Amino acid sequence: MTETEVFFQQVIIGLSNGMIIALVALGYTMVYGIVELINFAHGDVFTLGGFLALTIIGALGAAAIIDPSTLGDSSNWMLLVGLVLASGVFCGALNMSIDRVVYKPLRRASKLTQLVAAIGVSFILVNIAQFWGGLPMEVFNDGVSATAPKDFPDVLDWQTNLLGEDSAIALRVEDVAIFAITIPLMVGLTLFVKKTRLGRGMRATAQNPVAARLMGIDTDRVISATFAIGGFLAGAASVMYAVFNNSITYQQMGFRAGMDAFTAAVLGGIGSLPGAMLGGVLIGLIRAMSDQYIETRWTNVVVFGVLILILVFRPSGLLGLKQREKV
């Protein structure tokens, strides 16, 4: 491959990963924008979405799913969409339940108390994922090693290069699927927040929750809906992550995606939806370029180095607005 071809290949990889990161980052930034809570359990909700998707595949019959003769069929696309919806609904309900059980009683507590609670929920979800990995199913290696990474079957045809077999640059069906699913979700969320009554309630609550309550807005309902939407996006992202990487793990998956998404939200301007999208794409591109042109072991240093530089010169992030800290 020429240097130009290598560069464009990394752009494709970076954009694909960046779209996944952006979906998870949207959940972080929505919750922070409304209740000013850094929900560190969000990455682990994302992990459980991947485990649910693998469980569904196992229940449907792994042998039929990984049969090479079925790859690329419309039924497999329907399966992918079904997995995205199932994991999204599951993670949305889980995230909303976490808010009601843990975060809502602590709404008036100190920020430190809420942060510690979020970390505690994260540990609980990590252990649930560990036990989940021990299910006696073929897709979970019959439960022999609960902590081992789990192979995610090839739902789509990853071997075919959409740019042609003679092209040095590979564009896989998985790459197209990521864009085909993530972009409509991002556009739909933006329109939802701007055009719907609930979306206006979200913006009002984010700006001034006390004034929003005085205007008759049910802020508790708005917050619950925000957690549900953020969880749905995390669930959808978990399926795309599993399809793209063909592997899930109970610990590293949520930690890596969670840190990347949180970094993306801060980089773009936490509380800003366009900022989270931009930050996710940038983190994906930075990681891809660092892996190729520097070295994989330095990638985290490069990512956080860029974040520090941005925050030094623009503390509110790339698209964030300067606001006074609420005490």
262-278 tens-digit pLDDT: 889 888 888 788 888 99
Long-range contacts of 115-119 (CB under 8 A, 24+ apart): 115/37, 115/38, 115/40, 118/37, 118/38, 118/39, 118/40, 118/41, 119/40, 119/41
Backbone angles phi, psi at 248, to 5 degrees: -135, 155
**CATH no. of 3-313:** 1.10.3470
Torsion sign across C-alpha atoms 111, 255, 130, 157: positive
70-115 tens-digit pLDDT: 555 567 788 888 999 999 999 999 999 999 999 999 988 888 899 8
Which is it for strands 150-151 and 247-248: parallel, antiparallel or unpaired?
antiparallel
Tokens of 208: 């001034």
pTM score, whole prediction: 0.89
Output 326 or 97, whichever has higher pLDDT: 97
Torsion sign across C-alpha atoms 271, 98, 184, 284: positive
For residues 204 and 217, is the Cβ–Cβ distance under 8 A?
A: yes
- Between CA 68 and CA 295 the distance in angstroms is 34
Tell me the sheet residues that pair with 151: 247
Other Cβ atoms less than 10 A from the Cβ of 166: the count is 6
Other Cβ atoms less than 10 A from the Cβ of 311: the count is 13
Show the beta-strand stretches assigned E in the chain: 150-151, 247-248
- Average pLDDT in the 248-262 region? 85
| Degrees to nearest 5, angle at CA 265 with 261 and 270 | 150
**What pLDDT is recorded for position 325?**
47
